[in-house]
Structures are given as structure tokens and as C-alpha cells.
Amino acid sequence: MFATKNDRGYIAVVEGVKRKTLVHGEKTLMTEFLLEKGNTLPNHSHPQEQTGYLVSGKIILAIAGEEHEVNPGDSWVIPGNVEHSARIIEDSLALEVFAPVREDYLP
């Protein structure tokens, strides 16, 4: 699968958080998250492992209750079924890969 950059296909997750599935294969799925300053991604979990990279902005990422200040260039892995959340300190752009594929994120 190959995708070119465009501004279509964003889905509101919660207020101030939008996601867009970029590409997916048999075992992984890559998503772009647009995060607006002052909002929060509530605590949640899912069975997929989640690997992320902050392209721009600043967030506070809580993984299993432990908070991490995340700046551009920082990355993380969240094991499946581990609760996590994010406070958005600055407008941010994050890329995340889920394995196995999140069926609910398929376009």
C-alpha cells in the first residue's frame, strides 16, 4: 500500500484530537494524530501494541500511571492492554503504529 499526503480522511476521536489512518498492511497500521493544545486524550487501553513518535509539539503521556514529558523527536512503546492517556501541552503531531492492525482504524 502507498499513500500520498492529503488533508482528507481525518476523524474526530474526542474534542481536540483527530486521527487519520495513513497506511496499513497485514500486520501493522500507521496513524497520524493531530492534537490541539489544552485538550486531553482520556485514559484507555486496547489489545494492540502501540509505537509512537512525536513529530512536533509537546504532550504529557501517561503510561500505566507513569507520566512522561514528550517533545519532538521522542518516541514510545505502549504494550497491549496497558492503560494510557495524553495531555496536550502544545498543538502537536504524532505518528503511531499499531500491531496487530486495529480493525476499527481501517478506512
What does the pLDDT read at residue 4? 93
What does the pLDDT read at residue 50? 98
Taken in order 45, 91, 57, 93, the sign of the CA dihedral is: positive
pLDDT at 107 over 90: no
CA–CA–CA angle 40, 10, 23 (5° rounding): 110
Q: pLDDT by residue (tens digit) across 35-65?
A: 999 999 999 999 999 999 999 999 999 999 9
Pick the CATH number of 11-102 from 1.10.287.130, 2.60.120.10, 3.40.50.720, 2.40.50.140: 2.60.120.10
Query: Do residues 25 and 1 lie in contact, with contact meaning Cβ atoms separated by under 8 Å?
Result: yes
Q: Where are the domains of the chain?
A: 11-102
> Which residues does residue 90 pair with via DSSP β-bridges, in sequence order?
58
What does the pLDDT read at residue 65? 94
Task: Please provide the average confidence, as pLDDT, over all residues in the chain.
Answer: 97
| 3-class secondary structure, 40 | strand
